[in-house]
Amino acid sequence: MKQMRTQVGIVGAGPAGLMLGHLLHLEGIDSIIVENRSKEHVIERVRAGVLEHGSVQQLVDAGVGDRLLREGMRHRSVWLCFDNRRHRVDFEALTGGRTITVYGQNEVVKDLIGARAASGRPLYFEADRVTIADVDTERPRMHGRIDGRDEAIACDFVAGCDGFHGISRASLRPADYVTFERTYPFGWLGILAQAAPSSDELVYALHSRGFALFSMRSSTVTRLYVQSAADEPLEPWTDERIWDELEARFACEDGWSPTRGPILQKGITGMRSFVLEPMRFGRLFLAGDAAHIVPPTGAKGLNLALSDVRVLARAIAAYYHAARTDLLDRYSEQCLARVWAAQRFACWMTAMLHRAPDDTAFDHRRQIAELNHVIRSPAAATSFAESYVGPALD
């Protein structure tokens, strides 16, 4: 077995792993990224799409924001649709100029893979049977089958950026961590449609039949979601039924509705909230979905992944450049404060906008009252807007 050596071993080439590798590269720190799927799979996978104001700035500051600034769609507000009416919440006015940008997560990943290739630093796709060991020592290791050979990689640090189903979290001793979890009795059926978006802004809707969301990916592709059961089969959801259901849930007196078009892709995902504490174990650091999951209603998952690795890259840089370990020691605490703020917001949005199986007419009226509060109270609207656009970069 050949022995490779790097400063930071990174498991997973999603937004967390790739951005960490890039930020470390900018600091002159070496890393090896190992990813078990193919490059095509990672680039094609349709995921989240909303970047907070600070995430955009982070990508631009790191020199990977050119295409994002050109092709990303800047959104100044969102619509809340309920009781047959749409109401605009003006983020830009409520937050002193902050906005969000719609740009597919896979586009972020594509840009980061490009930056990795330009850096000349290693990124191995289709790495099999990746494991991590010795994280309690000064020389943690990653093992795996890379380019058809069994390799051992000696590292100073390992970053577990391998998502919710990865091996990093599974390699921990249960006595060393605590988890906090909630699953929801519904899911989202998501479609990608070849149709010009009929609204410039996202539309979040609550209807007595349940939640619906209108989003987009480009001037010709619409992304839509409709609340479904958590583990429903896809087959009964014919294209026509999906459009009918979307139209029913978005019905409003101004006559707006999503434009129909050929459905390019559909899938159902369950919803969960999950946090693992702490996020550091000796020389292993978890980041992104490996450590936490938020229900997608608040659009925070991608942003949390990016903010975790910003904190981690700074801490690792302080270790190499100034022999400081205090930022590494504070990693968990710093990330978890933001993770819990996002959990609060995502839970609140989810509860306000979905219909649970045991909900009564009382619950629906209470949700409508909550939505009215958000659009009528400047204080409530500001709180919503601040959470949605996310905190300013420090």
Shortest spacing between CB 114 and ligand PHB, in angstroms: 22
Of 281, 283, 282, 279, nearest in space to 8 by CA: 283
User: One of 87, 296, 319, 354 is an active-site residue; which one?
Assistant: 296
Contact 318/327 with Cβ under 8 angstroms? yes
Select from ligand PHB, ligand APR, none the partner in contact with residue 371, using the beta carbon and a kind-dependent cut-off of 5 to 8 Å.
Answer: none
Contact 24/121 with Cβ under 8 angstroms? no
Shortest spacing between CB 5 and ligand APR, in angstroms: 19
Contact 162/155 with Cβ under 8 angstroms? no
The whole-angstrom separation of Cα 229 and Cα 295 is: 14
Write out the binding residues for ligand APR, residues 151-190 only, by CB under 6 A: 161-163, 165-167
Contact 56/101 with Cβ under 8 angstroms? yes
Residue 275 binds to ligand APR (criterion: CB under 6 A):
no
Residue 387 binds to ligand APR (criterion: CB under 6 A):
no
Shortest spacing between CB 223 and ligand PHB, in angstroms: 5
Select from ligand APR, ligand PHB, none the partner in contact with residue 223, using the beta carbon and a kind-dependent cut-off of 5 to 8 Å.
Answer: ligand PHB
The whole-angstrom separation of Cα 22 and Cα 37 is: 19
Q: Which two tokens stand for residue 16?
A: 């967390």
Residue 228 binds to ligand APR (criterion: CB under 6 A):
no
Q: Which two tokens stand for residue 186?
A: 């519904």
Site mask, ligand APR, residues 122-151, x = CB under 6 A?
A: -----x--x---------------------
- List residues bridging with 267 in a β-sheet: 190
In whole angstroms, how far apart are CA 286 and each of 35, 157, 158, 234? Answer: 15, 11, 9, 33
Q: Which is nearer to ligand PHB, 124 or 225 (CB)?
A: 225
Q: Walk across the sheet containing 123-124 and list its strands.
A: 123-124, 31-34, 8-11, 157-160, 284-286, 280-281
Write out the binding residues for ligand PHB, residues 185-204 only, by CB under 6 A: 202
Write out the binding residues for ligand APR, residues 105-124 only, by CB under 6 A: 105
Tell me the site size for ligand PHB, rule CB under 6 A: 10
Residue 75 annotated as catalytic: yes
> Can the peptide bond before residue 278 be classed as cis, meaning omega within 30 degrees of 0?
yes
Q: Which is nearer to ligand PHB, 217 or 338 (CB)?
A: 217
In a 13 Å sphere around the CA of 367, the CA atoms on its Cβ side amount to 25
Q: Which two tokens stand for residue 152?
A: 């051992």
Write out the binding residues for ligand PHB, residues 37-96 only, by CB under 6 A: 48-50
The whole-angstrom separation of Cα 289 and Cα 347 is: 17
Select from ligand APR, ligand PHB, none the partner in contact with residue 49, using the beta carbon and a kind-dependent cut-off of 5 to 8 Å.
Answer: ligand PHB
Applying CB under 6 A, which of residues 6, 20, 31, 35 lies at the interface with ligand APR?
A: 35
User: One of 124, 204, 319, 331 is an active-site residue; which one?
Assistant: 204
| Polymer length in residues for the chain | 394
Select from ligand PHB, ligand APR, none the partner in contact with residue 215, using the beta carbon and a kind-dependent cut-off of 5 to 8 Å.
Answer: ligand PHB
Residue 204 annotated as catalytic: yes
Contact 198/260 with Cβ under 8 angstroms? no
Select from ligand PHB, ligand APR, none the partner in contact with residue 52, using the beta carbon and a kind-dependent cut-off of 5 to 8 Å.
Answer: none
Tell me the site size for ligand APR, rule CB under 6 A: 28
Residue 296 binds to ligand PHB (criterion: CB under 6 A):
yes
- Catalytic (active-site) positions: 75, 204, 296, 300, 388
